Amino acid sequence: MEQFFQTCEWRLVDESNLQSRSPLASFAMDDTLCHLVGHQLTTPTIRTWVHKESVVLGIQDHRLPFIEQGMHLLNAQGYTPIVRNSGGLAVVLDPGVLNISLVISEKEQPLSINSAFDMMVQFIKMLLPEIAEYIEAYEIVGSYCPGSYDLSIGGKKFAGISQRRMQGGIAVQIYLCIEGSGSERAELIKQFYERSLQQEETKFQYPRIEPSVMASLQELTGTNMTVVDLNLRIQQMLQQRGINWVLTPLKSTENELYMYYLQRVLQRNQSMLAK
């Protein structure tokens, strides 16, 4: 899979300094890049993004019996809840969490769902060679937004991976808890589910959060690793491995497409929250 990264030039879109924007803007950006890459209007893309305190809810979360009370709790704790346009469950975003999207074309490189996940796992191991041998990918029971490609060290989860496919493009997205306390983030989501469920029986099985199974990379490595450090490391890693890349923000014509997808995402989120 490492050879895949060297088969073409990569576009790098760094939006880690746009923390004041809503995460909805980031999901619109990935939709835009899926469209552009899927239609072969731009090269495969690596995008990095960071946001202020937010909780991104999945569609199933929005169906919780007491969701309004749960969202009130999040607001009271200083977190803004939004509903994303893809699967998965509640995820915490804050300035200590780095998000990375790898966007590729299904036309150029058809990938199964698992192969796309494997691509991201390989990317993270390339990015963190000093701990690569300790990183495992399997579901961490008791974590928030659990999945078969949770990344962990010693049974403690520090990252989760999702993907979105549209317009011939695949966006593989990962959140990396780098700074701060992973268990404190998990405790917030535990309280959210407790407030939103209130022990009522539901058809969908929501996760029972055990905060102790989650940690940040700072905690796991015993270092002062930061979001800024890891973001810069991406460019250094690409250079060291001889992978061609260019740092390119959206062009004016691409920005028009972005505004279209942003409007769609905002309208969808507004309609979901209104229900």
Largest CA distance in the chain: 55
Alpha-carbon distance 42 to 140, whole Å?
36
154: how many CB neighbours lie within 10 A of its CB? 8
Are the beta carbons of 74 and 43 closer than 8 angstroms?
A: no
Q: Which parts of the chain are beta strand (E)?
A: 10-15, 45-49, 54-57, 80-83, 91-93, 97-105, 136-137, 151-153, 156-166, 169-177, 245-247
Q: Is 145 a catalytic residue?
A: yes
CB under 8 Å to 225, separation ≥6 — which residues? 178, 179, 217, 218
For residues 13 and 24, give the distance between their C-alpha atoms in angstroms, rounded to a whole number: 17
The end-to-end CA distance of the chain, in Å, is 43
Q: Which residues of 62-86 are buried (b: 16+ CB within 10 A; e: fewer)?
A: bebeebeebbebbeeeebbbbbbbb
Catalytic option among 8, 34, 145, 177: 145
- DSSP 3-state of 178: coil
Give the catalytic positions in this structure. 145
